[in-house]
Structure 1
């Protein structure tokens, strides 16, 4: 069973709390409410803080308030923030597209890669992990929307990809990840999330080799996480819901 980020009894609220702490508390309430509305146990859903463009001192406010799971989209940001965040207990997931030539730089700083999307990348990771004598949790990224601007494998290729991960003993498949359809059509967005849940469930029901621990579904962001939770998300990736609007680039 997955566990939610702890919400310490002493978490400040009201006028004495900073905006990040207040928004984190509100995000937790909204995630719990969405899970309960879907008839699910709120303990089944974790919040991953999407920290792209956020400076370490802002991220540290959320970590000090009890958040433990964060995700970065860019290798250079992982490297730039690593020292400043080292004093705060946390788990780092990489949630952006990973180029093979960045693997060596990234691996020492992450505990999970959520965007595994090619056999070539599997080979590169396996080789580097073998040299380092360590393992890595991974999610397979699936492009359920079919949008050409999004990374991820086609749903039809999911079984082949699972079997490729199973052949790499240093990789531990923990689940599947997707980025929702960019559309105002909530029904269409939910169909995509339902498709990812179907892949996860088929992998379990049909006992795909290597999928025995692939129970997680990372899907849903600040604008649509309630729909993702209704379709089975176990991790929702929240950025602006906690940190506010990102600064203009």
Structure 2
């Protein structure tokens, strides 16, 4: 994307509106979440100036740095959208209003323990690996309902829906099937009437496929490169990522 952040945002907003029109949906039911992985602060501030308020970060260290630098923007709401390790829970919980990537019971337990200490609750989405790719995190579709039910037993966690990432290097139809499956799972889980489980949100769709995601029911689309341009990834970013403890 060679345009300014503001121009890119206008283009993305137009595409969201067109996808809603194609699928007969109300544009007010789709929330744009700006994915900020490796995005410098000046570009984030441009997005704030353009009226954006929802930001999603993939890395705990980046979230900590950006959150402290952007605290003057009181209206900004941070979400965590990357793989979360249990040893990073404390930092993340302090900064966000929702975690999109709860993919295992162990993480739910760690979140609960921290939230009990802070005497608060947290909205979460349960990540599902709808493409069955080994490179991705997330519960299998077959285990989705069981994981949601187990997480719902933690009174500090409010399960608001599901999250997925579309199949990598896929055809539009393959991507659509991933999103359609997530929607079907949300309907099945909602019918179980599990306490503290709402199934209100479907976080799916990124820069290359958010139009398809909206057509299949996404309520939150996570868009980064279409707004901010190609990611700049310094060498130390890979070092930090590769040396983190994986639980």
2:32 pairs with 23, 27, 47, which one? 47
Question: Residue 246 of structure 1 corresponds to which residue in structure 2?
Answer: 231
In the TM superposition, residue 232 of structure 1 has moved relative to its aligned partner by 0.4
1:214 partner SS: strand
In the TM superposition, residue 65 of structure 1 has moved relative to its aligned partner by 1.2
Equivalent runs, 1:75-224 vs 2, <5 Å: 75-88=60-73, 89-211=75-197, 213-224=198-209
Structure 1 stretches of 4+ with a deviation exceeding 4 A read none
Structure-2 separation of matches of 1:207 and 1:224 = 31
Superimposed CA distance per residue, residues 83-120 of structure 1 (whole angstroms, 9 cap, x where no aligned partner): 22111121111000000011112211111110001111
Superimposed CA distance per residue, residues 49-68 of structure 1 (whole angstroms, 9 cap, x where no aligned partner): 00100111210110121111
Structure-2 separation of matches of 1:92 and 1:182 = 26
Runs (5+) with no aligned partner, structure 1: 1-17
Checking the alignment, whether the CA contact within 8 Å between 1:162 and 1:210 is kept in structure 2 is: no
In the TM superposition, residue 248 of structure 1 has moved relative to its aligned partner by 4.5
TM-score (norm 1): 0.90
Checking the alignment, whether the CA contact within 8 Å between 1:135 and 1:171 is kept in structure 2 is: yes
Structure-2 separation of matches of 1:233 and 1:82 = 26
Structure-2 separation of matches of 1:210 and 1:85 = 31
CA RMSD of aligned residues (A): 1.2
In the TM superposition, residue 39 of structure 1 has moved relative to its aligned partner by 1.1
Larger mean CA deviation between 140-149 and 76-85 belongs to: 76-85
Runs (5+) with no aligned partner, structure 2: 235-247
